[in-house]
Amino acid sequence: RLLMPEGVHWPCLDPEDPCEPLMHKDKFAHPDGLGVFQALEHRGPVEVPDEEYPLILTTTRILFHYHAAMTRRCETLDNEVKTGFIEINTEDAKARGILPNEMVRAYSRRGEIEITAHVTDDIKPGIVNIPMHFSECAANMLTNSDSFDPKCKMVELKACAINVEKIEGK
């Protein structure tokens, strides 16, 4: 099916299907047509900040990068954001002597990376964020890939305890 300027909504069952912008509008894809939901108690991250690793790392995606293996091959998209960075709150950066655009060492119990600091008030104190797209500063090297959610069996790649320090002389 050709993409139109207004886009195509999934699912499209065949090339003539007008597609449906809303899934499960009339019924769910379950034999009785009803949705199956299950309430779960909130379970925070396995690893929490402590004296050695006082910050929480979150990993996210960037608007211009769907997934590095695909979009970093596209020069136009790659030019939008050339490499990774760590967002750190102004207070946290000041406490560590980190200035905007300085190289820092971000490290966890699993590894470390060198990465440029973006000092900002757009992120809460005690939290840092690294986009996960960049192999040269791979955020997921730091994350807790040994911890699995007991229900969905997904690896906990979105939160872990880390520390960040200024790299002297860089």
pLDDT digits (tens, 9 = 90+) for 66-119: 666 667 777 887 788 888 999 999 999 999 999 999 999 999 999 999 999 999
Residue-range domain boundaries for the chain: 55-166
Tokens 């971000």 — which residue? 106
CA–CA distances in Å: residue 110 to residues 38, 82, 113, 161:
33, 25, 11, 10
Contact 141, 59 (CB under 8 A): no
pLDDT of residue 6: 67
pTM above 0.85, yes or no: no
> What's the topology of domain 55-166?
Barwin-like endoglucanases (2.40.40)
What mean pLDDT do residues 139-146 have?
Answer: 85
